[in-house]
Amino acid sequence: MATGHTSIWTLKRFGRFLPGTKEDGGNPWKMFEPSESAGELVLTIVESGHMLVSQGHDLLGESRLIRMQFSGSRAEALEQCSSAVLRLKEYLPVTTQGGPPPPPLSCPPTPNQPPTKTTAQDQQAGVGEAMATEPEVVQGSLSIKRLTQHFLGEHGLSLPLAYRHGALSRGELEPFVRLCLLDPSFPALVEKVEGELRRVLQD
């Protein structure tokens, strides 16, 4: 169901992947099911794009790899799953098992077209041209390197919705920025962050 821009579904089962447990001989999946004592399993997607899985007062989604089974009959569960997938597609690419991968971010050269050699000068010129024209509209996933280039101003991108929703409203952001600027260690932190971003580009 949807409340404004917040969507909520009940789950029959939820699994969280625990890395490293398989090597120790354990089950790599920790499973949760609704119960009277623990409460219902609830999946919530809020307007900011955050996806939360909760049971009672506990948040369970502490993993990048999860499994979900929706409540209801098979038909109801499929309908619930489809509506959740449609909501998730607003923020990130979603594919089914065995389905086609997300579209590539750039087209590979055609078989008859030989690969071209680019020099550092050509790459610099390409960056300048990219910034001067419309930003590239990204469909599909983004690499860390491309995100870093975008945030350093080296490559213009029109980011997916997940990157456009700020967790803080404009009214909440100003006091936060003022607090940062009053902290004497903040400029050094910004410099360190930029240094790390440059290092990511070199890796």
196 in the same domain as 137 = yes
In a domain, 68, yes or no: yes
In a domain, 76, yes or no: yes
In a domain, 156, yes or no: yes
Q: How confident is the model at residue 135 (pLDDT cuts 50, 70, 90)?
A: low
140 in the same domain as 83 = no
Domain hosting residue 167, numbered range: 129-202
In a domain, 120, yes or no: no
The pLDDT, as a whole number, for residue 126 is 44
| Higher-scoring residue by pLDDT: 10, 172 | 10
pLDDT digits (tens, 9 = 90+) for 72-110: 999 999 999 999 998 888 877 777 665 555 444 333 333
In a domain, 100, yes or no: no
In a domain, 25, yes or no: yes
Q: Dig out the tokens for 87 from the structure.
A: 């909501």
Candidate ranges 33-42, 55-64, 122-131, 147-156; pick with highest mean pLDDT: 33-42
Which of residues 57, 88, 119 is at a domain's end? 88
| Higher-scoring residue by pLDDT: 136, 150 | 150
In a domain, 71, yes or no: yes
Count of domains for the chain: 2
pLDDT digits (tens, 9 = 90+) for 24-36: 677 888 899 999 9
b/e 179-194 (16+ beta carbons within 10 angstroms → b): eeeeeeeeeeeeeeee
The pLDDT, as a whole number, for residue 164 is 62
Residue range 184-191: average pLDDT?
A: 88
**pTM of this prediction?**
0.49
Which of residues 57, 72, 88 is at a domain's end? 88
Backbone angles phi and psi of 134, in degrees to 5? -65, 145
134 in the same domain as 73 = no
Q: How confident is the model at residue 197 (pLDDT cuts 50, 70, 90)?
A: confident
146 in the same domain as 81 = no
In a domain, 139, yes or no: yes
Q: What is the average pLDDT value for the chain, to the nearest integer?
A: 74
134 in the same domain as 75 = no
82 in the same domain as 152 = no
User: What is the CB-side half-sphere exposure of residue 128 using CA atoms within 13 A?
Assistant: 6
